[in-house]
Chain A
Amino acid sequence: MFKKTLTTLSVVLALGAHANAQDYPVDTVTLITHSSPGGGSDVFLREMSGYLAPILGVNVVVENVRGGSGAKAMADLAKAKPDGSRFYATTPTFIYTSLLSETEYTYKDLEPLVNFFIDPEVIYTAAGSEYETLDDVIAAARESRGRWGAANPASLERQALEQLKAATGVEAAVVTHEGGGDLMINVLNGTLQIGVGEVQELQSQLEAGEIRLLATFSGERLDNYPDLPTVEELGYEVVVRKFRGLAAPKGTPDAVIAAWETAAQAVLANEDYKAKYLANNLRPEFIAHDDYVEFINTFASETEAFLKQSGVIQ
């Protein structure tokens, strides 16, 4: 129901846009997202654009290119001029769409630029449930078939749970939903034993004490929840890295890439912005261009291997 397709254009005018405009080849940079206005990536981009603009010395505009779970946005960017004026805000979705749907343009037609954040994915349960730890959940699934939930059908969350299932060797139904809200209701009313989601989506329920975190899929423990164990520490080799970065059209000049590497680090270090994103449980993880290309390729080939192994694609 939330797979809306709509394209709106909106402009976030930057203050002090002309500070050092001569350094960057264009006056206006457009960041496109496949997310709907008000959706996760959209809010993230719009917030960041306000801080990015003065650093790059340009206007930063956010445009929603919706449709086909990123297929339209990939086609849009693949055909865009590589002059530093247009970028695509990427999340794992664009890899999944490339692999699952035979789209005209795929992630291979784009140049990964830099990475900004890695969102921590956590396992949670209703506060009133009998499960205190992840091991309780696994033990319960050993006795009778588990009931686990992921937000979307073909997603990183689903992959994480399927991998956890394989690592533990238990039987569990992995029920998919139409987004995190849908999933949350079924965890709260006890239909599901656990759900997987991003910490910032769960914030309000966490503060109200309606849900309990059991483990995080991140590589290290989270700063805001130092007592929360990682899934890996608990003995199951599953690590999930939900990245948030930018992709550029192929053939983007080195000068533009270098400008973004500097700007990305500067924006992550900005004190005001830092206060905001840390409060929202976003984990900054700058990855420079060369490493990011490598990162995306590894991510894609791991995902492809998973999808092939489970028979979703050939």
Chain B
Amino acid sequence: METILLSFEALANPAIFVAAMMGVTWGILGGAMPGISPSITMALLLPFTYAMEPTSAIVLLASTYVGAEYGGSIPAILIRTPGTNAAAATVIDGYEMNRQGKAGLALGISLYSGVLGSLFGLTMLVLLSKPLASVALAFTPPAYFALGILGLSVIATLSGDNLFKGLVAALLGLMIATIGTDPVTGGNRFTFGSSDLLSGIKPVMIMVGLFAMSELLMQAADRSPSKQVKSSPRITFPDLKLAKRLLKPQAIGASIGTFEGVMPGAGGTIASFMSYNEARRWSRHKDEFGKGSPEGIAAPETANNAVAETALVPLLSFGIPGSNSTAILLGGFLIHGIVPGPMLFQRSGEVVYGLYGGLLVAAISLLFIGMLMLPVCIWLVNRPRPYLSAFIFALIMSGIFSINNSLFDLSIMMAAGVVGFFMRMLKFPFLPAVLGLVLGYLVESNFRRSLVLSGDDYSIFLSDKVSLGLLVLAAVFILGSIGKRLLDFLRKPSLSGTKGDMA
């Protein structure tokens, strides 16, 4: 209770207001640029925070994170390119709604889901920091491995009608994830002597290639100008009936996001894919998923914004950053001589309360700043196709270059685009590849770490209670979906349908 009062008291400081609103604006901009991740958006601000007063500096960085996690959904909906990794799941139904001319509603849903996710995550952060921190401690290497497997079980949902093709796509992602430094020995794998490959291939390069680049190639291939549906440049929020229907997916997203955010290394991407999957499982309108379901936007967008808040739990309680973005935030603390960790509340309580207050301002201002910025974005994508294609091409070529200042990365991205083009032609789904790419490192490193710990005794995955629970859950999901496919197959014996491919 005292925490809440002190956090509200911090709002008396106008500098915190300004910092939170600037951070959100900057974050939305950076998040919306394909290739510029939330952590890069934050890192670009870091030099300016030296001169700032500590609380404002921390609020600025944390609000940027909140804004960027939301901003990623804008290009996901409008140009089929996730601006951030965590927005990849939003592409599925968001872009589909856009194609139906409902971009304004899709953006409205993602915006208010983002705000709700932020508010929920913030409440959890303020009220339940201690118990949530103990959840983070309960996760040992076998538990992380099991979590990764649970994440991979989502492949079944993302595979469209041919599970084998989905698995091939997932393996492709897992294979790309093995490029670079080995997680246990530190040796090199698949680097072919190139120092550009030493630190691996960033998922964002592959994602932008698979989604945006392949879309451009498809448009070039289809010479007959496909009909371009224009959306009204007005943001619409759902009516009461739809809002009620969205409550369930939002609740699912908020809880999964809170849980995944707390665990170092898990992150927003897994959270949004898993909440998409769960929202579909528990939905009464299952058939709409993949064809422009508003629930398919609400769940992942609530989740990734909840992650942006609860990712602060391990940082503030242990001083341990769970992601690249929170690592930058840790830097922001250290610059001002503040060491996050168990002593933070005693030592620099006022900074923490200021941060909580600032995050509240950030969550609320997200709504208004988003409403101001979105019409401009819709106007931009309503331009004639040739200009739009040209602009998207130029934008991704600039964004991917900025990650490493490397032309090599651009060729990786274009190569991924070519692979994506042929995957579409041969009707392979992309999203399993994204999932494999994001989870590959987590699964492999923790699998091998567990075996090193146990001395090659595989029973460690069953003797660890958290791991056992998650593995059983994953097994239920996988067997369930295989069983369902088998049933469908027996009823209607055709190996693969000719329905549209997913993503």
Binding site for B on A (CB under 8 A): 1-8, 10-12, 36-39, 42-43, 46, 66-69, 71-72, 75, 96-97, 100-104, 145, 147, 152-155, 158, 173-178, 181-182, 184-186, 188-189, 191-192, 203-205, 207-208, 210, 276, 312
Contact = CB atoms under 8 A, between A and B. Distances in A.
A184 B318 contact: yes
A38 B331 contact: yes
A7 B405 contact: yes
Contacts of B483: none
A176 B137 CA distance: 17
B181 A3 contact: yes
11 contacts: A1-B324, A4-B324, A12-B50, A36-B324, A36-B328, A39-B331, A43-B331, A43-B335, A185-B136, A185-B314, A207-B343
Interface of B: 39-40, 43-44, 46-47, 50, 136-141, 180-188, 191, 193, 195-196, 198-200, 202, 264-265, 267, 314, 318-324, 327-332, 334-335, 337, 339-344, 403-406, 441-442, 445, 449, 452-453, 455
A218 to B, nearest CB: 22
Contacts of B331: 36-39, 42-43
Nearest to A189: B137
A12 B195 CA distance: 29
A71 B331 CA distance: 23
Given A153-B183, A154-B187, A185-B318, A173 B324 contact: no
B43 A204 contact: no
B319 A204 contact: yes
A152 B185 CA distance: 9
Contact of B199 (A69, A176, A182, A312): A69
A68 B181 CA distance: 9
A191 B195 contact: no
Contacts, number: 180
B340 A38 contact: no
Contact of A2 (B184, B195, B327, B455): B327
Contacts of A312: 185-187
A213 to B, nearest CB: 16
B184 A153 contact: yes
A97 B195 CA distance: 10
Contacts of A203: 339, 341
B196 A68 contact: yes
- 8 A-B pairs with least C-beta separation: A38-B331, A204-B341, A154-B186, A153-B186, A208-B342, A10-B47, A181-B320, A68-B198
B52 to A, nearest CB: 14
Contact of A175 (B342, B344, B406, B449): B449
Given A101-B188, A175-B452, A69 B328 contact: no
Contacts of B182: 153
A204 B265 contact: no
Given A6-B404, A67-B404, A185-B314, 8 more contacts: A3-B181, A5-B404, A12-B50, A66-B199, A72-B195, A153-B181, A205-B318, A205-B341
B404 A184 contact: no
A173 B342 CA distance: 29
B340 A36 contact: no
A140 B120 CA distance: 46
